[in-house]
Structure 1
C-alpha cells in the first residue's frame, strides 16, 4: 500500500467510526419500535414447576427483555420468572412486568450481598442464582436474546437435571470442556497475555498457575444463557473460592472489572459432572455470521447487536410467532 493510501485510511477511519455509531443508533431505535409490538401479545402464564427463569434488568431494556422472556417461555413451555432490578425500574415498568410476566418476584439489587466476591458486573445475579439452585432449576436469560424455534435440548437438560452451557463460538464447540492446562495450551500457546488486555484474556491465560490446575476444567462460554441444575455442587462457596484464586492471579483491580462473573460461571459449569454443551448451530452468539438454517436461540452480544438488521429481523419473527399462536388459541 502506498503512503498516500495509508494516509487516506487513517483519515477515513474516524469518519467510518462516526458513521457506524450513527447507523447503530438508528438501528437501535428501529429495534425498539419493533420490540414495542411485544406489548400487544398475551401475558406469560407462569408455572410453579421447579424451573426459575432469572434475569437482571433495568428500565432501559424493558422492551428487549419482554421479547427475550416471552419468546423463550413460549418455546420452552416451563418456568416462573424472577427478576433482579438494577435500581432503575419505575413503577410503570413494574406494572408492565406484573401484567406480562405472571406477577414475577422482583428483587432490588441493593438487597443482594456479594460477600468476598466483586460487586457489580452481574455478580449479584450469579450469586443469587447459585443460592436459588438449592431448590430450583435456574436458567439465566439475558435481555439481548431471542428464541426463534423449539428448544428440545433445554427441556432435556431440565428433565435430566443437568446443566447446560451456551458456547462462546464454534471453536469452543470443537474442543469442548478441557483441563485448565489444556485450555491454556490451546487458547494461549504464547503464554500469559500481558496487560493491558481484556480481563478475560488476562485471567484465562494464567489458568496454568491456578491451584491444582490439572484437576480443574474450563470452557469458553456465555453466561448470557446458562442452565444450573437443581441441587448442583457449585454454590456461593465454590464461586467465592474461585474468585479468591483468580484475584490472586491477576490482582483485584483487574478481577473486579466487567467480565469476571462470566468467567466464574464458565468455570463452575465446566467443573460440574454432566454439564451439556448446546449445539452451536442451534444456540449461538451473533458475531455477524450468516444465520443458521436450524437456529433456535440467538444471543445478540453487544459487539454486533446493531451492526446490521439481524436483531430487528429476529425480534420481528419472534413477535409474529407469538401473535400467530395467540390467534390459534381458543378464546
Structure 2
C-alpha cells in the first residue's frame, strides 16, 4: 500500500510527465507505409500524448508500417485530428464495434480480437502507449522479414517451455489466485485446436509481434470456452486473461523470438535503463525515479532532430 506521501509524489510525477509529453506534437509527422506491417494499439484520450511518443519513437527506428488504432470510446474529434496529422491518417476503429464472441468483454480482449483479424494479411505489432523506443530495433526488423512472432519477456528469467512444466510449477494453486496463474496451471488440459506439443511463455503483450496468417479468433473462442469450463466465466473474465491468450498464440506458432531482455525491458524500478532499445513503463513502476520522463524527453529530442 502506498503511503500518503508516496501517492502525492506519484501524482506530481504523473502531472510533470503529462505536461512534458505534450511536446510530442512539435515533432515532425510520421510518413506511414502500406508495406504489410501494422503498428496497432488501443488508446483513449487520456494517453494521446504518451501514445504518440510510443508510436513515433518506434516508427522512427523501424521505418516501416502504418498505424491502426482501436478507440476505447473516449477519443474526441480533436484527438482524431491530431492523430491524423501526426500518424499520416491512421485507421481508427471503435471498441464497441468488436464482437467478442465466446471471449470475455473488456480486459483488452477487443484489442486482441481486432489484432487477430488484422494479422490475416499483415504483420501486426501490438504496441502499448507506455513504451518508449530509444535505440535500434534490428531484432524486430529481422523477425518481420523472417515471418516470426516476437514478444517482450515478462522479466529476464522467462523461457519458452512445455505447458506441462507450468502445471507442475503451479500444482495446488488456490482458487482465489490471479487468473494468470490459475489458467497456466491447467494449460495442459486445454486443446482449443492448438498445435502439439503445446508450449507457453510468460511474455508481455505491451510489445509483441504476430506474423501474417497463423492462429485466428477461432482459437481464441475455443480456448475461452475451455477456460470458462475449467475456471468459471467470472474468473476467466478477470483482468489478465487476454495476456495469457496472447502468450498462447505467440508461443505456438513456429520459431518464437524472445526479445533480449537487456535491450527490450519492462521497467520494474531499476535505478537506470542502461542501453535499452525499448522500455515498457508498466503501471506498477511507471513514474518511479523519473525515468519514464527522461526516456520520453530523449525520444522526443531524437524525433525533433
TM superposition score normalised by structure 1: 0.88
Alignment of 1:142-181 (within 5 A): 142-172=128-158, 176-181=159-164
Distance 1:163 1:309, change over 3 A: same
Alignment check: 8 A CA contact 2:191 2:223 kept:
no
Distance 2:245 2:222 in 1: 10
The match for 2:58 is 72
Distance 1:154 1:35 in 2: 26
Q: Are 2:212 and 1:226 aligned? A: no
Alignment of 1:50-199 (within 5 A): 50-172=36-158, 176-185=159-168, 187-188=169-170, 191-199=171-179
Q: Are 2:20 and 1:34 aligned? A: yes
Q: Give CA deviations for 1:260-307 in whole Å, capped at 9, x if unaligned.
A: 111000011111111111001111111112434330000111111122
The match for 1:288 is 269
Alignment check: 8 A CA contact 2:271 2:289 kept:
no
Q: Give CA deviations for 1:169-214 in whole Å, capped at 9, x if unaligned.
A: 0111xxx2111111333x43xx132132222122222334434997
Distance 1:292 1:62 in 2: 24
Distance 2:257 2:226 in 1: 26
Alignment check: 8 A CA contact 1:282 1:292 kept:
no
Distance 1:192 1:252 in 2: 21
Distance 2:187 2:151 in 1: 20
Instruction: Give the RMSD, CA atoms, in angstroms.
Output: 1.6
Unaligned runs of 5+ in 1: 1-13, 325-331
Distance 1:95 1:28 in 2: 25
Q: Give CA deviations for 1:23-60 in whole Å, capped at 9, x if unaligned.
A: 11111111111111101000010111110001000000
Partner of residue 217 from structure 1, selected from 199, 217, 225: 199
Partner of residue 202 from structure 1, selected from 182, 185, 191: 182
Distance 2:115 2:248 in 1: 15
Structure 2 residue matching 1:24: 3-state secondary structure: helix
| Count of paired positions | 303
Query: Which entry has the higher C-alpha Rg, 1 or 2?
Result: 1
TM superposition score normalised by structure 2: 0.95
